[in-house]
Amino acid sequence: MRIAIVSPFFPPSIGGVESIAENAAVELARRGYEVHVITTSYNNMWEKIADFGSCPRDGIRVHRLKTLSVRAKYATIMKNLTGVLSCLRPDIIHVHCLHPHLYQSISVKRKIKSRLVAQLHAPWASGPEGVLPKLLFPLAFSVMRKMQKYVDMFVTHDTDAARYLVEHGINGSRVSIVKQPTIPRAVLEFKPTEVFEDDTILYLGRITWKKGLHVLVQAAPLILRELDDANIVIAGPAERTYYERLIALAKKLDVMHGIRFIPGAVKEPEKFNFMASAAVFVTPSVKDLHPITLLEAQALGTPVVATDVGSVRNIVLSNKTGILVKPNKVDELARAIIDLLSNKSLRHTMGLEAKRFVADNYVLDKAVDELEKIYDRITFKTE
């Protein structure tokens, strides 16, 4: 079976969609499928990260296309997408995100008789970013609803997202749930090298406004006042303007001595060493869906503090594998971090439960098993 995965971004771009698309692509290739990924040459901050063209990688072939210069935050139009799909003639076209490339894929699948899977990543749950995406989302969803007969299966990550689609006019027989995000089982078995001191609070991910790092910096005086030895580490690729605002805020609050900023991508295995050696992993998002870093940290036995936004409550069991707090609540965030950091026994108990929870529910091979079933079902169905 030949599978074409269409994603707006792909590693080395860092993000949840990228991780989900890459993990599935590599695992499908490992299982013997011919897998092609069609994407852009940019990361999700529209910085060029790769040359245009086609090249092999990890058992798959990645095709990087040029795009129009007109963009609505993360969405744009991939040039010659329909041409590439027409040449590949895949059995399955698996599209990520409610972007123009979904409609481009629909237009060509009808001609080449491919089956189409749409994995939308619930933009309604975290909220479209930016004025233009907010204005365009209702129209894009309405068009998709009218064209749903050309989508063989919608893949959602949880029952909340599935319910939303059905309640907003998508035929329930066309909706399947595949638990996402997931992690490769090897992460559960990773043997880390300690890189931090015992009292380290870690955030690792994109440094952008929606991740709520200004709330963490605002909580720093409260944390450092109560726990003198605490160290806050904020690492990941940064949006420059927002990063500069964080530095200015930390200086204004006089907490630069307790915060270490590491701007830029942190790659494996260093990323897992960071997560495993932190005492607490924190994700203070003001808007988000379900950051894969929360699963990675839990898989490594690190308890988490996260905000109860999007679908986070599905991947963090509050008071069992971590602590959930309301977004934009500085005092609540600080108290949760202090409570965990000052109780080593609680951290150990939560860390063990977190590792078990991820192993039982969010490993990659189980998700790909479900994808295979969907691919088989729609491949052999009659029109």
Radius of gyration of the chain (CA): 21
Domain segments of the chain as ranges: 2-182+363-379, 186-361
Task: Tell whether the model's pLDDT for residue 381 goes beyond 70.
Answer: no
Give the model's confidence band at 194: pLDDT under 50 very low, under 70 low, under 90 confident, else very high: confident
In CATH terms, are 2-182+363-379 and 186-361 the same topology? yes
Query: Which segments of the chain does DSSP mark as H helices, in order?
Result: 16-30, 81-88, 100-112, 123-126, 131-146, 159-167, 185-188, 213-226, 240-252, 270-277, 292-299, 312-315, 330-341, 344-361, 364-379
Q: How many Å apart are CA 251 and CA 73, to the nearest integer?
A: 30
Could you please state the CATH topology (level 3) that the domain comprising 2-182+363-379 is classified under.
Rossmann fold (3.40.50)
Is 186-361 a CATH 3.40.50.620 domain?
no
Give the pLDDT confidence score for residue 161 in this predicted structure: 94
pLDDT at position 383, please? 54
- For the segment 312-332, the average pLDDT, to the nearest whole number, is 97
Task: Please name the residues in contact with 366: beta carbons below 8 A apart, sequence gap of 6 or more.
Answer: 179, 182
Mean residue pLDDT across the chain: 95
pTM of the model: 0.91
List, for residues 79-90, the tens digit of each pLDDT value: 999 999 999 999
Q: Which strands make up the sheet holding 175-177, listed edge to edge?
A: 53-57, 60-65, 34-40, 2-6, 92-96, 115-119, 153-156, 175-177
